[in-house]
């Protein structure tokens, strides 16, 4: 098991190195095959030993061997992140394969689909973070990956005995139909939200590619874990969307606060600070006897509600006044992160791994 996991981790590091190339050349609109690896600063062709994942960055002290310019920290971060994610998914699935009677073929296919999806998540997040650019070929590949797995799953089910009281023909078409429903629901849900929020706030709140990213994330997750009940599909989509929003708020809040300080918007900074302090106090007091009085509970909750409404109004006003300049933060990485979390959590909750 240890040898297998070590192999998976090293494979992840190597693939992570390739993902760096895909991210950068997607942004520069170059081929990912030709020319070979080169320094983006001096354009010198790199030697093979300059491309060893993580180790080359350490040995070169984060600088190009030719021009001595700094190498972006993105390279080792993407490589290590890919290696860790490959190791995580590999451990979960291989441990299940070795210790249960679940179908090794299905588990192996699920692992492969999950790893390919993770690679696409990293590429999409990388281009979105660096340039707020999302390539159609990556989002379409993500959508196609889920559809392809649904077709394969339906085919395998068709040529085996019927399950869950359904006929073989039902098993042949159900996975692909549920995946298609998930893609359509998620795409139009985010697209409608994007257009409504854009109309109300008079600025773009979501990127043009976010709806396609969400459709791709949903395609993979639904194809793996959601082909059974349309209500379950809808709940899963909503859960991933709200998780994405929470992740976006958490990840973007420090950057948003930094932009407010740069703009010297002291009124909104004071309002945010007051809301955070009051929330902390509210949570602390709720565990004491002070809120045992119904009147105190009502008053405390009303103050919290008023602070929250005031904060929302202040943020919306700030967005309108600045045309969204203080809130230009990519949403794609949060969507991808919610998908990556779902790919780990869902099989555990369903008892698959």
Q: Report yes or no: 80 and 54 within 8 Å, Cβ to Cβ.
A: yes
Quick one: pLDDT at residue 138? 95
Boundary residue ending a domain (79, 101, 123)? 101
309 located within any domain: yes
pLDDT tens digits for 140-170? Answer: 999 999 999 988 887 777 666 545 444 555 5
Which residues in the chain land under pLDDT 50?
A: 162, 164-166
pLDDT tens digits for 31-46? Answer: 777 777 777 777 778 7
Q: Can you give the residue range of the structural domain that contains 43?
A: 1-101
Boundary residue ending a domain (101, 118, 148)? 101
Boundary residue ending a domain (101, 129, 164)? 101
107 located within any domain: no
121 located within any domain: no
- Burial class of 196 by CB neighbour count within 10 A (0 to 12, 13 to 18, 19+): exposed
61 located within any domain: yes
* Domain tally, the chain: 2
20 located within any domain: yes
Q: 270-291 as b/e, with b when 16 or more CB fall inside 10 Å?
A: ebbeebeeeeeeeeeeeeeeeb
pLDDT tens digits for 45-100? Answer: 877 777 788 888 888 888 877 787 788 888 899 999 999 999 999 998 888 887 77
Share of the chain above pLDDT 90, in %: 29
284 located within any domain: yes
106 located within any domain: no
10 located within any domain: yes
């Amino acid at each position: 098991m240890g040898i297998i996991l070590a192999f998976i981790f090293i494979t992840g590091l190597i693939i992570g190195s390739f993902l760096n190339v895909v991210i950068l050349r997607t942004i520069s609109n170059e081929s990912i095959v030709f020319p070979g690896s080169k320094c983006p600063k001096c354009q010198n062709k790199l030697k093979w030993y300059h491309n060893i994942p993580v180790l080359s960055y350490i040995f070169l002290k984060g600088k190009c061997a030719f021009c001595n310019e700094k190498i972006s920290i993105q390279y080792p971060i993407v490589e290590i992140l890919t290696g860790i994610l490959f190791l995580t998914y590999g451990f979960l699935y291989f441990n299940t394969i070795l210790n249960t009677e679940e179908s090794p073929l299905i588990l192996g296919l699920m692992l492969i689909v999950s790893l390919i999806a993770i690679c696409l998540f990293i590429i999409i997040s990388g281009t979105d973070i660096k340039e707020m650019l999302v390539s159609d070929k990556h989002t379409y590949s993500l959508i196609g990956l889920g559809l392809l797995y649904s077709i394969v799953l339906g085919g395998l089910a068709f040529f085996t005995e019927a399950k869950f009281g359904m006929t073989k023909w039902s098993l042949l078409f159900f996975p692909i139909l549920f995946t298609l429903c998930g893609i359509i629901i998620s795409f139009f849900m985010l697209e409608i939200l994007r257009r409504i929020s854009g109309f109300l706030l008079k600025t773009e709140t979501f990127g043009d590619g976010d709806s396609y990213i969400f459709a791709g994330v949903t395609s993979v997750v639904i194809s793996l874990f959601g082909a059974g009940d349309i209500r379950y599909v809808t709940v899963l989509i909503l859960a991933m969307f709200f998780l994405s929003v929470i992740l976006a708020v958490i990840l973007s809040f420090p950057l948003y606060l930094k932009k407010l300080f740069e703009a010297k918007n002291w009124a909104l900074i004071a309002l945010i600070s007051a809301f955070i302090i009051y929330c902390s106090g509210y949570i602390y007091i709720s565990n004491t006897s002070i809120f045992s009085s119904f009147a105190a509970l009502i008053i405390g909750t009303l103050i919290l509600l008023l602070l929250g409404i005031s904060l929302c109004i202040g943020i919306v006003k700030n967005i309108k006044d600045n045309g969204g300049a203080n809130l230009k933060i990519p949403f794609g990485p949060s969507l991808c992160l919610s998908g990556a979390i779902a790919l780990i959590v869902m099989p555990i909750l369903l008892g698959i791994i």
